[in-house]
Amino acid sequence: MTETASLVWIGAAATVAAVLQLRRAWGLPRRSAAANGVGWALLLIGAAFALAGDGAWGLAVASLAGMAAAALLLAHAGWTAPKGKGRASDRKAHMLPEAGEPRALGRRLLTLLLTVPLAFAAALLAALGVRALAGLAGWSDADGNAMTLLLVPLLWGILAFWLLMLPRRGAQYSLLAIPAAAGLGLIFIGGAV
């Protein structure tokens, strides 16, 4: 076995140990910052070993080992969990109003509009702005285009998640306006040069 392969195996083992430690820490009767810290530290150490061993491929292998351990723990917990006694609510994560509550369709449609097309537009403008900045830095067109294609779904997902976490519409509008305005500014700067 080569030295790089052994580093990946050590990283995978540390990742599995991290998952087991985090499961143990989360099962304690009281929250323990030290137990959680050990689990997260093991996860970082495992990732570092795997990355040092075989780069992105080693990190993928170690991550797969950790995810497999987590899936097995989750399957065991689901299999051994006692049956619930209460009836599940008709209201799943605020999707359906309870009897007598207003439907608030306008509010729901506005949330959909903000998180899907408008967040996509803001992410696209921000990614195109970064692409213009990369062009100013001397990047080739192919590298800039590839970076843009990678950034759009990443930024869109981050924006959509963040928008759903904000309780006020004003904060949501500001969150969309900042990356869109920054992206537009960078596009104009890149086009002017």
pLDDT tens figures, 81-139: 888 776 655 555 556 666 777 878 888 899 999 999 999 999 999 999 999 999 999 99
Instruction: Give the whole-angstrom CA distance, residue 158 versus residue 150.
Output: 13
Whole-prediction pTM: 0.56
Classified as helix, coil or strand, 98 is coil
Contact 7, 57 (CB under 8 A): no
Contact 99, 91 (CB under 8 A): no
pLDDT at 171 > cutoff 60 = yes
Instruction: Give the CA count within 13 Å in the CB-facing half-sphere of 133.
Output: 13
Instruction: Give the whole-angstrom CA distance, residue 154 versus residue 156.
Output: 5
pLDDT at 35 > cutoff 70 = yes
Contact 109, 168 (CB under 8 A): no
